[in-house]
Structure 1
Amino acid sequence: MTHCLIENLTKHLKEIREGSVVIDEWFERAKQIQSEFCLDSIALDSMATQQRPFRIRTEVEEDLSGEDKQQFKTSFVYPILDVALSKLEERFEHLTELENTYGFLFDLHNKVNSLNQCKRLEEALTSAQDGSKDLDGTQLFDEIKSFQALIDDDGGKTPLESLNKIYELGLEPIYS
């Protein structure tokens, strides 16, 4: 589900970046806010420790040129969209990596859970420095098979329901 949300958001942001309708609407809204406050800009002096006060315009410019719109896109909107897209892609890669490593644990009803998946998880959780292991893949595989037999009768379909089943049966010491 999370993958789908990230993919859809990424697609939407790319559509915004490639199109100009939404950005044009944002530009118009920015002009409106600027004229409501009658501000030229917020001027910051990089050499001083204090901010300069706002410069208040006496006249509101009614018509901003296409050059201003392009500058708005290139100096404001595109950098924000580019950062958002790169962060989303980074998160998507991390989620994919996590799903490849741990994903099989979220569907314990799946009879396809294999010893190979458990061994891959064992490798992922093995210390590169001293070779110590957080779990044994073969043991995990055996535990999953025994747990599947337990929950297949009337057990939960989600991880939370499966955990509740463990709690109801008083099996916390076995599966902790």
Structure 2
Amino acid sequence: MIALLWNGILVGIGATVLMDIWAFALHYLFGQARPNWAPGGRWFRHLANGKVFHDSIGTAEPYEHELALGWTGHYVVGIIYGVVLVLAMGPGWLASPTFLPAFVWGIVTIAAGWFLMQPGMGLGWAASKTPNPTKVRIIGLLTHTVFAIGMWGTAMLIR
């Protein structure tokens, strides 16, 4: 069980690192905004006070270390997703990882962003209040596909 947890942590870290490389590549190659986890850090901080939904996270009370908290939260969530996948699939999957379970789980995990974090930050359900919700959703699906590739790839490396 301990080995599964450690492997799950590694799978989550590897997947999150690949997702961040993808995000920076989108920035440098296509001019997408750089990853900025400060608003997420502010949102995570307000969760500790029981406040989940904001009209706009930008108008919520700032937190001095929100960028660091955002990046930390981002990796903690990625690690949790990796651990859940590994525990659900078990040692057999780690011995011979297949892409489909990682892909399905990677796509399922976007629900937390679409139906909890985005509305919680005032962006609406599945980014419905953003200037281009379809673009945000497509980039999210692609990013979670990259995350899935990262989970599978990391499992392949550690098997």
For normalisation by structure 2, the TM-score amounts to 0.29
Larger Rg belongs to: 1
Higher fraction of helix: 2
TM value normalised by structure 1: 0.26
Per chain length, whose mean CA-contact separation is higher, i.e. which structure has more relative contact order (CA < 8 Å, sep 6+)? 2
